[in-house]
Amino acid sequence: MNKQIVIGCDNAAVNLKNDLKAFMEARGYEVENVGCDSKDDPTYYPLIAERVCEKIIESGYTKRGVLICGTGLGMAMCANKFPGIRAGVCHDSFSGERLALSNNGNVICFGERVIGVKLAEKILGEWLELEFVDGSSTPKVEAIKDIEKKTMK
Ligand code: RB5
């Protein structure tokens, strides 16, 4: 499993972003931070999501992403506008597991205003170690790709 991760947040989530970055680095992940790094940085969350998704696409989808805002919702909405990106907000362990194993999700989203640090670390740590395997979920993920072909230019 590739250990290269791209992480980004808006100014509502700098604390959780810093914590999750350190959490991953302590476990041997190579973490690329695309900002923002200050609560005074006014960059809108869609622009941060764009930076992360472009880096995943440039990598040929070998990298995965972590996006954090106030709720995680805006980041997930934006990330899912990019081809080949499957993002979900995961504020519980089961959702994190299913993001990997059911949806082959390559971006996990959190909301700093919703979840505590320790639970976010647990969910992230589990998601990072899970790998999608071909099986009954494969045709459903392929159906997502079919929708992309129809809706994305
Ligand atoms: C703050 O801009 C807030 O709207 C944002 O962090 C996020 O929660 C959006 O989904």
Cβ(55)–Cβ(70) under 8 Å? no
Band (pLDDT 50/70/90 cuts) for residue 28 is: very high
pLDDT tens digits for range 36-70: 999 999 999 999 999 999 999 999 999 999 999 99
Give pTM, 2 decimals: 0.98
Distance separating alpha carbons of residues 37 and 100, to the nearest angstrom: 28
| Residue with the two structure tokens 């302590």 | 26
Query: Pocket residues for ligand 1 (CB within 6 Å)?
Result: 10, 12, 45, 69-71, 73-74
Domain residue ranges in the chain = 4-151
Band (pLDDT 50/70/90 cuts) for residue 24 is: very high
Active site residues: 69
Q: 153 pLDDT exceeds 80?
A: no
| Res 1: pLDDT | 85
CATH number for domain 4-151, candidates 3.50.50.60, 3.10.180.10, 3.40.190.10, 3.40.1400.10: 3.40.1400.10
Q: What mean pLDDT do residues 1-12 have?
A: 97
